[in-house]
Copies of this chain bind each other. A is one copy, B any other.
Amino acid sequence: MPELFNVRTPPEAWRIFQEHFRPQVRTERIPTAQALDRILAEELTAPQDLPSFRRSTVDGYAVNAADTYGATPGLPAFLTVVGEVPMGQRAELEIGLGEAALVHTGGMIPEGANAVVMVENTQQVDEASIEVMKAVAEGENVIQIGEDVRAGEPVLPSVKQLRPQDLGGLLALGITQVRVALPPRVAILSTGDEVIPPEETPGPGQVRDINSYTLSALVTRAGGEPLPLGIIPDQREALEAAVAKAAEMADVVVLSAGSSVSYRDMSAEVINGLGRPGVLVHGVSVRPGKPTILAVCDGVPVFGLPGNPVSAMVIFDLFITPTIRALLGTDTPPKQQIQARLARNVASVTGREDYVQVRLEERDGELWAVPVFGKSNLIYTLIHADGTIQIPLDSGGVREGAWVTVFLH
């Protein structure tokens, strides 16, 4: 009566795996403009003050604030206009007491001025003079030198995933190249004598390959580079050769395994032959996904996933996504989470983590997670789901109405 040996809880499995996995982040330098969603691999500090000159935030007149104190529509302050500051040029003018200069939004504040009166609060008297109808405080409507960032200040932490505004902030400082983590290469092997490429028509007993494609897409989403290596027949020599080649080419190897006991035993033996220490965990107390293999072979993480698409996806999220993130230098998961209320009781068993597919429904302004039940062999269970909830290890289940965290697909 063959059985899985040495079944571990997910946290135990991850801890054992981490003891032998020493992630090395590979990096490259690329143009900042092309770095959207990449993970920064250096600590960046501002090479200069931003802005590098005092700027106006409005259209108006640069003035000495003191000249406007007490000004009202009934008793305006009278100022002499000494010129206009052109955009994109040094403000050559200097403002003396009782003087003002026209300045545009974003324009440079001239020497001698310390505030800007909005044009709406002024009235033109003649070519060379205005009335100011509202007082301004010192610094009002002015961005000071270094108010956005000061030279030498840290601007972005290492391991930050770069967003549109982060690119803007770097380019504003003239940082046109950045060092980012290289996407880890993840080799994907689909195995099984019953598996055929999707473009072929299956004969009796045959099914089309799904996992090569869903796993490749999951690798992309996690920030890795998928290397799908095709379908390997259930023969020991073929599997050994394919796994050895994969471990040479890639930073991570994933076997989407045949699910039969004899096949699982063969995968474990082949992985053990690949390098030290070999298989670390064989069997995890999680549903779906129990027949999972975690291994490190001469520094390369190797995973044996159950062949069922739902199990493969749950185990991918649980172990392979964090492995890819570690190789990117970060532990931030790429998936979004939201809170919702569980729409029906879900039973579980203490000592096992359950992952349940759910679809989201809004009812009276509240978000509900409705379990999508289905055998883990059914890909359409996943297609009808918007996300996954976890029923914890030490829980016998979760009651209808309870708040749960949904990890969105």
Contact = CB atoms under 8 A, between A and B. Distances in A.
Contact of A52 (B91, B202, B216): B202
Contacts of A119: 1-2, 261
B55 A165 contact: no
Contacts of A214: 164-165, 167-168
Contacts of A165: 214, 309, 313, 379, 382-383, 409
B377 A258 contact: no
B309 A168 contact: yes
A143 B375 contact: yes
A193 B87 contact: yes
Nearest to A162: B217
A260 B380 CA distance: 55
Interface in A80-105: 85-91, 104-105
B176 A198 contact: yes
Interface string A377-409: 111101100000000000000000000000011
Nearest to A200: B174
Given A205-B53, A409-B163, A169 B379 contact: yes
23 contacts: A32-B213, A50-B380, A51-B207, A87-B258, A89-B204, A89-B205, A90-B203, A91-B205, A104-B263, A106-B307, A107-B205, A155-B383, A164-B218, A164-B313, A165-B309, A168-B210, A168-B309, A168-B379, A169-B380, A169-B382, A169-B383, A172-B198, A339-B339
Contacts of A220: 36
B176 A143 contact: no
A171 to B, nearest CB: 4
A382 to B, nearest CB: 4
A370 to B, nearest CB: 17
How big is the A interface, by class?
35 or more
Contacts of A174: 198-199, 201, 208
Q: Which of A155, A195, A198, A216 has the most CB of B within 10 A?
A: A198
A42 interface: no
Interface in A298-316: 307, 309, 313
Contacts of A198: 32-33, 171-172, 174, 176
A36 B219 CA distance: 11
Contacts of A192: 87-88, 106
Contacts of A199: 174, 176
A132 to B, nearest CB: 13
A53 B208 CA distance: 13
The 7 A-B pairs of least Cβ separation, nearest first, read: A164-B217, A90-B204, A88-B194, A165-B382, A104-B260, A168-B214, A105-B259
Interface in A20-43: 32-33, 36
A238 interface: no
A336 interface: yes
Contacts of A260: 59, 87, 104-107
A120 interface: yes
A156 B382 CA distance: 12
A221 interface: yes
A3 interface: yes
Interface string A266-302: 0000000000000000000000000000000000000
A198 B35 CA distance: 15
Interface string A102-136: 00111110000000000110010000000000000
Given A86-B193, A208-B171, A234-B87, A33 B213 contact: yes
A164 to B, nearest CB: 4
A210 B377 contact: no
Nearest to A92: B204
Contact of A383 (B33, B108, B156): B156
